[in-house]
Structure 1
């Protein structure tokens, strides 16, 4: 259907149709060679007589705006003068963006947000991705179908910003058993991924100029909201036992730590340092944000309980997520908060997005309470252990003592230090590997400055053992062609 505006024009009706068509053609809204409706169709659309449209077409034909083919089809002429755009169509210069100080800091820290999915690689060792193919989709589908067939009335309305109460109760029970976390369900707030949890923490706890302690190397997902809030980052170095507590500043507002699997190095903070960190927090009046991601997977030794389990001063904010254990698109994470912080965090959550999607929380709650979650974790842990072994074996086979492997005892990634590659030359190896279909990822983005050694972060949970071996074999080929063998 061709939309024409016949209002506001004077003269006979056919002239008004003619002028409307001519303006449409000259403005470029009808391209050269575009087919016009038949006189019968356009007359019906405009609710005018067919004779009126025929007279308008004849005038356009006489002036060279249209041509008739096969005595039946009328089209816009191929050769037309450049369409004259009305003043209203001329783009105006955009005024300078008037951004808040918060937005300027956010864009400075984040940079351009990816707008397109990254290209798929045959052997992608990207970190932080679970095995989507082996997720129990049929079980999840049945739970979801049951919920949608007999939905509770509340499932389709507004909900509590704190989250679905049965899910919070299920999490409190699970965390007590699995991680030693001491909490009541009403201390838990459900968020849309752990990233929202970090953002809420920055909004609630930090004022411009406050000191925020972060590990070095660090997880950029937490430094970005901290800096956007105007905090001054105190980067505290990590060694073989995690955050060096003796280097902590005397005063700070928050400290972010990954004690059970430091990101990205994978080191585990021992009990002595955990106690020292908590003692410092009490002295400094600081809140400790414990990111306990992928603590579910440990392959050697006995797991340590969460830092929160040792907290006697209610200074620890515990963060957990299902993105690394189930699937990222679920977008469900949670905060376990000291009682004093529950009201302001709930208020910040409400102000941000009211509440998280209820249906996904309902399904997840049943997935946990029926035992499906822990059964899946056991299977995933066994699978990840085998893939970890395949990765370590392939690295030893192809690179021997020319690489140093670290952080392999927990989580779903490990770090490989390349002894014969200079940090500034690592990009060439990564680029050559990508040409061979292998995704390799430098540790450099997790350092505030150039790291002293060339290192790669290898995720292995989403690859089969065969793909891991094939990917490392191609990496070895890339190393040869890039001049590192």
Structure 2
């Protein structure tokens, strides 16, 4: 009796083999082994009978996998002799994980690849990010609106859309911003985007040349800093104090800057509000310097002590402000809808650039969001979540006072989805590391500075947490602070 011959293959194991087709899995594994060089040209493969016995699959499964490999030229069958890896296969010359020879990243690509990343997680835990509570979103209302839209105009909702955005949504956004934020615009100034980050990327791409100087809040939003760096801009850090961006410091450092990025309603991450005096000074500087102000109004809907302050854009008579807002904080993160309010002379350029990126957001989601706003659900959701988050912010204030007395003080806490605890004697990096080991996820304030951090602190997102989770989280954070030592370095 002739002994079985041919290369040995390891058994099919793991969730991939269980979840999908065993034939497809076997095919992919043999193909990968051939392309990777572990099965060289001319290697004899076992018969389908032997393969089926070795791997615990049916002979039909093995035969189907071989047939596909023969069809694609990876293996060849020799009558009366067996099945072999095709003689046309050549071993790989380079590590498949290494960059192709002679191919290098562009300067922009290298800048992107060098950016620090902060992994997003699905599970919400204290005190991760500036996240809304998705449990508070009216899912049934949203589901009803989607069903109604599909029932009425299913085909239209599935077609390509306007790169500037679904017009009824643009009209709804313009109406909302006029009444709630004092923004002066029409639907023709609104561009619907997939995220506020996309708005920053497009703005940097359209308005900046490599080497242009830009004012950036220090500390500030890392996503904005990334967009500016990737555009090749020279970023000038401008300090922030209790009145927001120090406009005079910016004037002294870079009087002829091309652009200034600000978060005036709720400075990210410190929470300060830009004073009226500085708002006017910023607009005056922009007009004289021929610069643009990018106003990122990322979570101004949530104020707990006073009415929201009107946007800078509403004070602008010279067309110097690009206003950016998002629905990811007020509705739910995966909606991937945001918007930019652009001066009239720039709208066409933004729309063309937006078309080149990804065309437009899903028409159905835009239409449902327009319905959500126009029928009053948006206002109702804002009122209910504002009350909910205010209760949680009060719990955070009380917990910090009780658990971190003498160790940390809370910064401005009257607005937004996060607040900052300023540490007295501890290294925020060390505390954050110890807290993470205890199951509490906080970001060190020093991570938001462009250079050496003048102060130590922790950024705490509280909106998505129940009051009990907030109290327990601060209690755990106090343990991390106490065990971190007193070295501020």
Which TM-score band (shorter chain)? 0.7 to 0.9
The reply to whether residue 318 of structure 1 matches residue 339 of structure 2 is: no
Structure-2 residue corresponding to 1:241: 243
1:37 Cα offset (Å): 5.1
The reply to whether residue 430 of structure 1 matches residue 432 of structure 2 is: yes
1:482 Cα offset (Å): 3.8
Structure 1 pair 42–442 and aligned structure 2 pair: CA distance change class (3 A): closer
Structure 1 pair 22–232 and aligned structure 2 pair: CA distance change class (3 A): closer
Which stretch has the larger CA shift, 86-95 or 157-166?
86-95
Structure-2 residue corresponding to 1:129: 131
Structure 1 pair 255–324 and aligned structure 2 pair: CA distance change class (3 A): same
Residue 314 of structure 2 aligns to a residue whose secondary structure is helix
Structure-1 residue corresponding to 2:111: 105
- 1:368 pairs with 366, 373, 379, which one? 373
Structure-1 residue corresponding to 2:162: 160
Distance 1:255 1:41 in 2: 63
Structure-2 residue corresponding to 1:394: 399
Structure-2 residue corresponding to 1:460: 462
Distance 1:326 1:90 in 2: 49
Decide whether the 8 Å contact of 1:25 with 1:31 is kept in 2.
no
Distance 2:331 2:62 in 1: 55
Decide whether the 8 Å contact of 2:320 with 2:343 is kept in 1.
yes
- 2:265 pairs with 256, 260, 267, which one? 260
Residue 180 of structure 1 aligns to a residue whose secondary structure is coil
The reply to whether residue 286 of structure 1 matches residue 307 of structure 2 is: no
TM, length-normalised to structure 2: 0.81
Which stretch has the larger CA shift, 148-157 or 339-348?
148-157
String of CA shifts for 1:3-33, please: whole Å, max 9, x gaps: 99xxxxxxxxxxxxxxx9973349xx96992
User: Within 5 Å, which residues of 2 pair with 1:29-108?
Assistant: 33-35=54-56, 38=59, 87-93=89-95, 94-108=100-114
Structure-1 residue corresponding to 2:4: none
The reply to whether residue 186 of structure 1 matches residue 210 of structure 2 is: no
Decide whether the 8 Å contact of 2:266 with 2:272 is kept in 1.
yes
Structure-2 residue corresponding to 1:196: 198
Decide whether the 8 Å contact of 1:130 with 1:325 is kept in 2.
yes
Distance 2:329 2:346 in 1: 26
Structure 1 pair 84–157 and aligned structure 2 pair: CA distance change class (3 A): closer
Structure 1 pair 221–253 and aligned structure 2 pair: CA distance change class (3 A): same
Residues paired across the two proteins, number? 432
Which stretch has the larger CA shift, 95-104 or 468-477?
95-104
1:200 Cα offset (Å): 0.5
Residue 44 of structure 2 aligns to a residue whose secondary structure is helix
Decide whether the 8 Å contact of 2:164 with 2:192 is kept in 1.
yes
Structure 1 pair 473–59 and aligned structure 2 pair: CA distance change class (3 A): same
Which stretch has the larger CA shift, 182-191 or 224-233?
224-233
The alignment yields a C-alpha RMSD, in angstroms, of 3.2
Structure 1 pair 24–454 and aligned structure 2 pair: CA distance change class (3 A): same
Residue 88 of structure 1 aligns to a residue whose secondary structure is coil
String of CA shifts for 1:224-254, please: whole Å, max 9, x gaps: 1211111111211111101111122221211
Structure-2 residue corresponding to 1:477: 479
Distance 1:461 1:311 in 2: 32
Structure-2 residue corresponding to 1:70: none
Residue 394 of structure 2 aligns to a residue whose secondary structure is helix
Decide whether the 8 Å contact of 2:400 with 2:409 is kept in 1.
no
1:154 Cα offset (Å): 2.8
Structure-1 residue corresponding to 2:144: 142
Unpaired segments ≥5 residues, structure 1: 5-19, 47-55, 66-82
User: Within 5 Å, which residues of 2 pair with 1:200-349?
Assistant: 200-247=202-249, 248=251, 249-349=254-354
Distance 2:274 2:388 in 1: 25
Structure 1 pair 184–130 and aligned structure 2 pair: CA distance change class (3 A): same
Larger radius of gyration: 1
1:39 Cα offset (Å): 8.9
Decide whether the 8 Å contact of 2:112 with 2:230 is kept in 1.
yes
Decide whether the 8 Å contact of 2:219 with 2:269 is kept in 1.
yes
